[in-house]
Chains A and B, each alone.
Chain A
Amino acid sequence: MSDRPTPPGDDRPDQDLPRTPGSGREGLSPVPYQQDKAAPQDPDRMDDVTDRADGAGADGDATTYSVEKPLDLSQKSYSQGQLVRRRFLRHRGAMVSLAGLVVITVFAFSSIGYGWFPGWWEKEYWRGGLVLDQGRPTLELWPPALGEHPFGQDNAGKDYFALTMRGTQRSLIVAFTVGLLSTIIGTIIGAVAGFYRGWIEAILMRITDLFIVIPALVLAAVFGKMANGGIWPLAFLLSVIGWTGLARLVRGEVLSLREREFVAAAEAIGTGSGRIIFKHILPNTVGTIIVSATLAIAATILTESALSFLGWGVRAPDTSLGLLISTYQNSFQSRPWLFWWPGMIILAIALAVNFLGDGLRDAFDPRQNRTAD
């Protein structure tokens, strides 16, 4: 009986109650010596209650006594989501990466257009032409000017800017599709395995073991060859490989969340399993899921370009960044720009997405309180 908390106001003096915000007396609860950091911390006098020396307060004579820590109510308080957003927006690396990623994406899709949507760059990526100035890039940084062929031309006179943009489009489509699909699959499977336990969990976890035994690139190669050059089958098959890591993470979190009181409470009032999983458990794992999705996108960019490089991903006549590097790797001595542009773009995308993931991880991790530095 005695461990039950005493209801406030029963036996405690009135001044211990928090003041109403906005009354002008919020910041008043004084703590001995707190204002004077340099005051000697004499253990014998720590418990003394004295008048505040400076007598701060709206009406000047308000003197209240308390031995509790002051609650600074003058500062605005934030919800969890607001805190996450603030931490993320203050992560300088993540913000720069986000800007870079947006610029690359906008350029890739707006320049040569997508589907029936026309782009502002008039040259086609498949059409050859006269090779001007040995195909050197005409991009000028200052004064900024694109010129005739900003990224140069290949040996058949194709505009390399259009080719690279087309490749970037393909790579981005595959990466984001895989990021989305594998996240959905991984979340559902991880949640189901963690929530229902038993044989469902055993089977699902053995399947994830399976994908750990086979080197990811090898399985991706076989699946990539099955996709036969199309980017949508390729994206679909790569998602089938990519979900296992996330499934394990989600399962781990669900295992601990399902033992918590709020899940027990939901079960007690007769909530269905599906509602518990999607409404009560998964929102609590959203940090893990989002971070994992970003890292999956970065990994897919690298996998897809590696597969295309080896000839098992996107194939000619279509193009992708990996395929461009593979095609022009031998002209590195004579026309290095054919090699540098696609490689730098892959590197930029992967780096940006990885930094974004890092920023998101910092933002979602409540133990981290360092923001911008």
Chain B
Amino acid sequence: MLQFIVRRIAISSVVLLMGSALMFFATINSGDPLADLRESNAENRDQLIAARRANMNLDQPWWQRYLTWLVGASKCLVLSCDLGTTRNGANVNTMIVNAAGASLRLVTLSVILAIVIGIALGVLSAIRQYSGFDYSITFLAFLFFSLPVFWAAVLLKDFGAIRFNNWIADPALSTTAMAVVALVFALLVASVLGGDIRRQALTFLVTGAAVFGAVFAFDQVGWWRRPALGLPLILVGALLALAFFLTLTVGLSQRKIVVAGLVTVAAGLVAYFVTAPIMADPSGWLVILGLLAATVVVSGAIGWFFGGFERKLSMFVTIGTGVAFGFLVFMDRLLRNWGAFLEIKPRPISTIGSGIPQFDDTFWAEIFDWGVQLILPTMVLTLVSIAGYSRYTRASMLETINQDYIRTARSKGLSDRVVYSKHALRNALIPITTIVAFDFASLLGGAVITETIFGWKGLGAVFRDGLNTVDPAPVMGYYLVAGGAAVIMNMLADIAYAFLDPRIRR
């Protein structure tokens, strides 16, 4: 195993080195770095040209300039990077560090969302193969796959930002809009749950009525401007999470684990009131992380205590439920502060930028400040990569379902739930690790477009400005982050693959 990892690292670094030479050579040959000065009418034109020549070492041959850059960049191995300066003398190190935060936040969030939603959709459409749901997901996947990112982004800017801002000023839903929302939800739930036609019709009617009622109630109480979950909704959500984790593991067959889950929910209820003063305005992310750690410890302990001979499974269920409860409480607090944020910023979603600079308010308002700006770009990036994930998961899941061991599991008399969640899902997910690595790298590339449209000062902007001015230093800085991330993610995927699938270990 160790030998496998070492060989991967060696190969990857050689590839990264070759790639840097190619990028450097292509960048400096992509145009004339002096173009703007040659056309300028400034009195000291020759002087400026000479200064830039000296600044960018334009008189040296390309390999000498590359080696200079390489020596500086190779100091990254001992954690003292020197990525050079732009043509105006700005330090690329600080540029990259400042820009990386925004970009990585965007890409990481999109990758996580895309993985969760894409895999869920893929699995569901594989289980309900050739159903209406499957066909709609397939068609939507093709549509999103063929969607020009920049076009979708400009559309979202109009519908998601400008029209949403107009709407939130005086939010009211027409009956038609409510009916459409209810119809979509009802169709979705009915086709996913399946069953014979009478059961589907019943599911459709019940879901439609429930969603319509909920939206109507939200509209009546002015929820859109003063949203909150409230304790009842939190409890419902936590029980749903418990049901989800039970479905994934043992179902209702183990009384102990069900009891452990219910005790976790009860403990969460107590903790909700105990932590209320802290959650009103936490001083920072450390508090939230501390509370998260406490949740994991407490719910894990409950699982351990009640678990009996199934401790591991029990702890998995209780920790999952506990974290879900905590997340719901967090969202409840966050939503309660939406009204306050609207007071500060009446048109909440700006079309450009990643947040108000030097924004200083309560913890929650600050989250909203960068959070709402994250919504639209994340949606764009997520939509595009969901398509890939769902198609791939579907194919992989179908392949697994047709294996002999699944037939064996069925013929043993196991229920659909156990066959899908314990026998099929785990094996179907193995090949997906590889896709995650590729996707992360391509999303960093895609972020160049998204950041341009949404006016973010991220890595994509550094790259764009660098390329437009034929300046190798920022471009190479971007390459180092993107290529490094791609190499690391690929390696992690390979290692994860080798762990999950013993057949490929060599």
Chain A contact residues, CB within 8 Å of chain B: 206, 209-210, 212-219, 221-223, 225-226, 228, 298, 302, 305-306, 309-312, 322, 325-326, 329, 332-333, 339, 343, 346-347, 350-351, 353-355, 358, 373
Contact = CB atoms under 8 A, between A and B. Distances in A.
Contact of B490 (A210, A212, A228, A343): A212
B444 A351 contact: no
A305 to B, nearest CB: 6
A226 B14 contact: no
Interface string B13-25: 0111011001100
A213 B19 contact: yes
B464 interface: yes
Interface residues of B, number: 49
A143 B146 CA distance: 31
Interface stretch (B27-35, B46-54, B233-241, B497-505): B27-35
Contacts of B145: 350, 354
B36 to A, nearest CB: 15
A358 B23 CA distance: 34
Interface in B320-336: none
Contacts, number: 129
Interface stretch (B108-116, B196-204, B223-231, B445-453): B445-453
B248 to A, nearest CB: 30
Given A213-B441, A346-B148, A373-B130, 14 more contacts: A209-B15, A212-B486, A214-B19, A214-B23, A215-B446, A218-B463, A223-B26, A225-B467, A226-B30, A306-B449, A329-B154, A333-B162, A347-B148, A354-B146
B94 to A, nearest CB: 22
A209 B148 contact: no
B148 A306 contact: yes
B118 to A, nearest CB: 17
A139 to B, nearest CB: 20
Given A351-B143, A354-B145, A225 B151 contact: no
A347 B490 contact: no
Contact of A217 (B14, B31, B446): B446
Give the residue among A215, A221, A343 with the most B Cβ atoms within 10 A: A215
Contact of A225 (B31, B444, B449): B31
A218 B479 contact: yes
Contacts of B444: 215
A206 B479 contact: no
Contacts of B149: 302, 306
Contact of B448 (A310, A332, A350): A310
Contacts of B15: 206, 209-210, 213
B23 to A, nearest CB: 7
Nearest to B18: A210
B150 A322 contact: yes
A120 B321 CA distance: 67
Contacts of B319: none
Contacts of A358: 142
B486 A215 contact: yes
B30 A225 contact: yes
Contact of A214 (B155, B162, B464, B479): B479
